[in-house]
Structure 1
Amino acid sequence: MKNKIYYVMDTMCGWCYGFSDVITKIHEKHKDKYDFEIIPGGMWVGDEVKEMDTSLGEYIKTNNIRVEALTSVHFGKAFNKNVLGGGNRVLDSLPGAKAMVLFQKLNRDMSFDFLKKMQEAFFVNGQDMNDITVYTKIAESFGISKGDFEEIFLSQELSEETFECFRKGQKLGVQSFPTVILEKGNKRTIIAQGYSSFEELDKILLRE
């Protein structure tokens, strides 16, 4: 049985977007040796759902400057205008988390590619991630029919499964996003918390 890597993240987390190229390359290089599972963390759900205002927009912009300085990603003009521009956009992690859980059920091998498409939709194109058509269009680009995706996406069962993923992340001891956890037998080790370079993470996995 392969050892396992858990990637705990949130689709609305700027640092997770900054880490996207790194974790995608790690998955591509090491997927034959390790089983990978993406676990949505639920950063903004329930009482933590945010409605964008000027203060929150400025805070996120300041944080994103640090993300861009350390990583290779850039936040799009549409994101800064549509999402951070104070237009009362609701920031809710649940729809993106549900889409991530669902896609892994349908096409696990392409999960990291699907995640990157979702992050681009939000952080580059500034799309409204509460709109189900954002997810169905991405799913269709992977050959999944709109009807099949929508039916499961809107089900109570998927919502329950997604909240179970949030609890799983907590049980794994995750306190911030992104976090990468290596599981070998009964032992779990956090090998990255926050941003790490490809070289740093690759070196750890090559040692194992």
Structure 2
Amino acid sequence: MKLIFGVLVKCISVLAIMLATQKVYGVKGEEIMGKEKLIYVMDPQCGWCYGNAENIKELESRLDGKYELQLMLGGMWLGNNAPRGGEGLNQFIKQHSPRMESVTGAYVSEKFYELTSDSSYVFSSLEPSAAILAVMKIAPEKTLEFTGKVQKAMFADGLRLDQEVVYLNILQELSIDEGEFRELWLSEGNIENLNEMFQHSGSMVSGFPTLIKYSNGVYTDVASGYFDLKKIVRILGL
């Protein structure tokens, strides 16, 4: 009974997430139970999420309407848990990042390593996550592309994700309304929505990235950590 109850709670949590975020994704309440969905839970400060960016992009291109891909933000580093740049963080990243780079083929620049030594920068998930959520509301069809460019801005270009100009440059590139973004980004309402999403995703997964399949009320873990695209495609029958 304990196991069954645990699965039931997770299923209810998935539905709660979808109901709570339907205004973001443009999903009507009556459509939720009938559609098959892939929920991608990630964080813009997560190295393995960056490493999986190309696999997620390729997966989206193969869905062909069979699944609706929904991105959820995890809130990996927030408040006092967000690390400040410095020698300790730099050494930690240098120790762990090469394996991610080797496995995924993702490029991590020397500029990023320099950023990890910058004691004036706090690697908070709040600002980039709020930016992604704002784009979900403004231009949901461009959310995944925007997210990938935000990740690249830090890991490949070594840019700080607490600066508005980083996002404005990406918005211009993707032809997304800058005025709407400025109004939303760190607004009280957007941060409130974001914290709700963090709470829901925290009840769903224990690490990032995680890919979840939701079909007819059933919740299934598809992948976590490194995403093996061939295996995922096989599991999903694509």
Q: Which category of TM-score, normalised to the shorter sequence, fits these structures? A: over 0.9
Q: Does 1:121 align with 2:148?
A: no
Kindly tell me: are residues 31 and 152 of structure 1, through their superposed partners in 2, closer, same or farther at Cα, counting changes over 3 Å?
farther
| Distance in 2 of aligned mates of 1:110 and 1:179 | 20
| Distance in 1 of aligned mates of 2:186 and 2:72 | 19
- Long gaps (5+) in structure 1: none
Select the structure of larger CA radius of gyration.
2
Q: Does 1:179 align with 2:228?
A: no
Instruction: Tell me the equivalent position of 1:26.
Output: 59
Instruction: Tell me the equivalent position of 2:110.
Output: 77
Deviation at 1:31, TM superposition (A): 5.0
Q: Does 1:188 align with 2:186?
A: no
Q: Does 1:63 align with 2:114?
A: no
Name the structure with the higher strand share: 1
Alpha-carbon RMSD across the aligned residues, in angstroms, is: 1.3
User: What per-residue deviation string (whole Å, max 9, x for no partner) do you get for residues 160-203 of structure 1?
Assistant: 0001110110222x000000000011111111111022111111
Equivalent pair of 1:61/1:84 in contact (CA under 8 Å): no
Q: Which residue among 87, 106, 131 is the counterpart of 2:138? A: 106
- Percent identity over the alignment? 30
Matches within 5 A, 1:160-171: 160-171=192-203
Amino acid at match of 2:227: S
Q: Secondary structure at the match of 1:36?
A: strand
Q: Secondary structure at the match of 1:125?
A: coil
Instruction: Tell me the equivalent position of 1:203.
Output: 234
| Distance in 2 of aligned mates of 1:72 and 1:51 | 27
Amino acid at match of 1:94: L
Count of residue pairs brought into register by the alignment: 205
Instruction: Tell me the equivalent position of 1:143.
Output: 175
| Distance in 2 of aligned mates of 1:47 and 1:186 | 36
- Long gaps (5+) in structure 2: 1-33
Q: Secondary structure at the match of 2:44?
A: coil
